[in-house]
């Protein structure tokens, strides 16, 4: 029976075509959409109440998970500081008073960034979660490392200073 299936020229062609489609679909899983979502990581609302972590139950009037699902065809471009290295492709980034970002790059980064390095990346926002309303975390995968612009560096520096001042005003460490 198997010999009869694979023996036929048409069936072999169909089999090869099926494998080609599967292979191509697998290769495209690392595609990062060109269109960028207008959803900045540096959220000034975090500065308003520095004693509480900023969490997201909704974004632009939509439940956060529905927002993420509706925007799978767009990428985010975020800049933040590395706070933890999991391996050469997965890092945790975070800025004060904001949710952490767990980002997995499509390829290993060489040389690998260290804790304290600032990274700018483009990637697909795939999830958001909280542990009992604390420790919020954005999940971005796949992602690619991009160069940080002068404007992004300045915005990050300005935000970090404002967050430090807000924490000091709220008497937080």
Total tally of structural domains belonging to the chain = 1
| Residue 4 included in any domain | no
DSSP characters over the chain: -HHHHHHSHHHHHHHHHHHHHHHHHHHGGG---SSBPS--S--GGGGT-TTS----SEETTEEHHHHHHHTTTSBEEEEEEEEEE-SSSEEEE--TTS-EEEEEESS--SSPP-TT-EEEEEEEEEEEEEETTEEEEEEEEEEEEEPPPHHHHHHHHHHHHHHHHHHHHTT--
pLDDT in tens, 128-165: 998 766 789 999 999 999 999 999 999 999 999 999 99
Integer Cα distance of 140 and 78 in angstroms:
10
**What CATH number should be reported for the domain holding residue 83?**
2.40.50
| Residue 115 included in any domain | yes
pLDDT at 5 over 60: no
| Residue 61 included in any domain | yes
pLDDT value of residue 23:
40
pLDDT in tens, 84-116: 999 999 999 999 999 999 999 999 999 999 999
| Residue 141 included in any domain | yes
| Residue 2 included in any domain | no
49-74: average pLDDT: 92
| Residue 67 included in any domain | yes
pLDDT at 123 over 50: yes
| Domain encompassing residue 154 | 45-166
Q: What percentage of the chain has pLDDT greater than the value 70?
A: 81
């Amino acid at each position: 029976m198997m010999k009869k299936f694979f023996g036929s020229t048409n069936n072999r062609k169909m089999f090869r075509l099926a494998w080609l489609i599967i292979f191509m679909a697998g290769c495209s899983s690392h595609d990062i959409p060109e269109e960028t979502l207008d959803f900045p990581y540096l959220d000034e609302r975090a500065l308003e109440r520095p004693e509480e972590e900023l969490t997201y139950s909704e974004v632009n009037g939509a439940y956060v998970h529905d927002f993420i699902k509706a925007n799978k065809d767009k990428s985010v471009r975020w800049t933040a500081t590395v706070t933890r290295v999991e391996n050469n492709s997965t890092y945790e980034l975070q800025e004060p008073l904001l949710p952490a970002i767990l980002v997995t790059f499509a390829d290993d980064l060489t040389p690998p960034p260290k804790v304290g390095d600032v990274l700018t990346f483009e990637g697909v926002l795939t999830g958001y979660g909280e542990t009992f309303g604390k420790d919020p975390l954005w999940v971005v995968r796949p992602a690619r490392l991009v160069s940080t612009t002068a404007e992004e560096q300045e915005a990050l520096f300005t935000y970090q200073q404002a967050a430090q001042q807000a924490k000091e005003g709220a008497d937080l460490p």
